[in-house]
Structure 1
Amino acid sequence: MATNRQDYITLLENDFAKAFVAFDQDYNIFRAKICNNIFPWENSIKKCVFLNQIHSNIITHYNKDFHFNADGIMSNEKNVALCILSADCLPLLLYDDKNKAVAALHSGRKGCFENILKEAVLKMQESFNTQTKNLKLIISAGICAKNYEINGEILNYSKENFVPFLHENKLDLKALIKFQAKELGIKDIFDINLCTFDDERFFSYRKNQTPKRIVSVIYLKD
């Protein structure tokens, strides 16, 4: 269950890992303010890692071969916070409770269409010997179907490929993610079930082209 404090919701916490979403009104695409705000509350975090999110299904490993241009990052290092910025796109957080590894994904429409979740699971299997039966998927705050209207080529493509997740001209990205997760064998799924468009605490680019961002974070504890 999620727990709350002002501008902050805990999504997961146990002896080995923690995940949360933070949404201070000063947060934007500049990362320094976010880190400065997080560190006082999460004093076990030694480093915040961000990506140059490019709306892809590229997953990178936080190690010596780390690539900045990606939309997913995974790690088994302790006290390294994996951070995803968003303002409607779905932040997905993964925790392997057996092998003690985590991943954070930025999954917008393109990421969902290209199944970034599957790419992350495959990379985690390769790097950490992850099995989907040991994975927990957390879906942080993102836009809900009733507010995600599409048209033109995107609507036509969705009609051809994602009909079960299309309601007239509105696309349900969360339902698509959950379907993909279950296809992979992930059964432990937690959806915070909060819409960035409807909930005034959050930021929605679709609503007003805001430069502000929420940050969804997961890390392993010492």
Structure 2
Amino acid sequence: MAEQNILVKQPLFRSPSIFRDIPGLIAAESTRHGGVSTAPYHSLNLGGSTQDSPEHVVENNRRFFEALSVPLNHVAKSHQVHGTEILTVRIPGRFEGYDALITNVPHVQLAVTVADCTPILIYDTFGKAMAAIHAGWRGTAGQIARKTVEAMEKEFGTKPENCLAYIGTCIDECSFEVGEDVAQYFDSVHKRWDAGKEKFFVDLKLANKDQLLVLGLKPENIEVSEYSTILHNADYFSYRHEKGLTGRMLATIGLVTI
């Protein structure tokens, strides 16, 4: 029998298992597969802040959110600035200058873009509030994860012990090589010195996880992605590995009434 070549269709997204049993909750992290963009943005580039064709980005977003059964006019995004500003979202739309979005409104689908930075999704199982966070090294050093949960507590009465969290795919510790100018902002437990390279390596996943643990989230209620934007670059975009010429993924969370 002649050997057959079987084409395996790559997924447009992966869904965090931590949210799997929540009725009506839509949470996902895109891959780089299933879109229409060409190199160097191939293929599911969901970020508008690139030199990719705007028509391609729109079509990619349509495909991604259609796969999640989310209308595009339900999505809330912001132009991110690597800061720690948090927006309470009441209606969908495009906003400016926020790196974390929070809401307790059903049918508002929060989304953040990443390509090495850490996406974080949070859901309050009691109050049904949620957050989508973009945490690069600046945001992580600025405690954006902690500040976001505190904002949820202030706005919605969220209690950390009732929260589930997903710390998503980003640049891993073994790849995030930095100088003293960046390393100085991180505690010793979140960085290591490599004498051979004379560089520090920073663990963004652990730094963000520890912010959530200190606040009172339970360890068993935090899922950390097993993937890396650099080690698994065939599936995810990496700004650093691809020298800035690459696409963007989306991490998204929202609640629909059922």
TM-score, normalization by structure 2: 0.78
Map of 1:43 onto structure 2: 69
Map of 1:82 onto structure 2: 110
Q: Is the 8 A contact 1:56 1:110 kept in 2?
A: yes
Identity among equivalent positions (%) equals: 23
Counterparts of 1:51 and 1:142 in 2: how far apart (Å)? 19
Gaps of 5+ in 1: none
Greater mean deviation of Cα atoms: 9-18 or 211-220: 9-18
Report the CA distance shift for 1:183/1:72 in structure 2 as closer, same or farther (over 3 A).
Answer: same
Map of 1:141 onto structure 2: 169
- SS of the residue corresponding to residue 66 of structure 2 reads helix
Q: Is the 8 A contact 1:9 1:21 kept in 2?
A: yes
| CA displacement 1:112-142 (0-9 Å, x = unmatched) | 1010011111110111110001011101111
Q: What is the identity, as a one-letter code, of the residue corresponding to 1:151? A: G
1:22 CA drift (Å): 1.2
Map of 1:206 onto structure 2: 240
Gaps of 5+ in 2: 1-8, 34-42, 49-56, 194-199
Residues 10-49 of structure 1: pairs in structure 2 closer than 5 A: 10-11=15-16, 12-13=19-20, 14-23=22-31, 24=33, 25-30=43-48, 32-45=58-71, 46-49=73-76
1:69 CA drift (Å): 1.1
Counterparts of 2:99 and 2:231 in 1: how far apart (Å)? 25
**Aligned-residue CA RMSD (Å):** 1.9
Identify which of structures 1 and 2 has the higher relative contact order when contacts are C-alpha pairs closer than 8 Å and 6+ apart. 1
In the alignment, structure 1 residue 110 sits paired with structure 2 residue 141: no
Please state which structure has a larger fraction of its residues in helix: 1
Report the CA distance shift for 1:128/1:34 in structure 2 as closer, same or farther (over 3 A).
Answer: farther
- SS of the residue corresponding to residue 51 of structure 1 reads strand
Q: Is the 8 A contact 2:117 2:171 kept in 1?
A: yes
Counterparts of 1:34 and 1:123 in 2: how far apart (Å)? 32
Count how many residue pairs are aligned between Structure 1 and Structure 2.
Answer: 215
- SS of the residue corresponding to residue 217 of structure 2 reads coil
TM-score, normalization by structure 1: 0.90
Report the CA distance shift for 1:5/1:189 in structure 2 as closer, same or farther (over 3 A).
Answer: farther
Report the CA distance shift for 1:80/1:63 in structure 2 as closer, same or farther (over 3 A).
Answer: closer
The higher radius of gyration belongs to 2
In the alignment, structure 1 residue 173 sits paired with structure 2 residue 165: no
- SS of the residue corresponding to residue 207 of structure 1 reads coil
Report the CA distance shift for 1:192/1:147 in structure 2 as closer, same or farther (over 3 A).
Answer: same
Map of 2:230 onto structure 1: 197
After superposing on structure 2, the runs of 4+ consecutive aligned residues of structure 1 that deviate more than 3 Å are: none
| CA displacement 1:41-90 (0-9 Å, x = unmatched) | 222445111111000111101127x9521100011111221111100000
Report the CA distance shift for 1:6/1:89 in structure 2 as closer, same or farther (over 3 A).
Answer: same
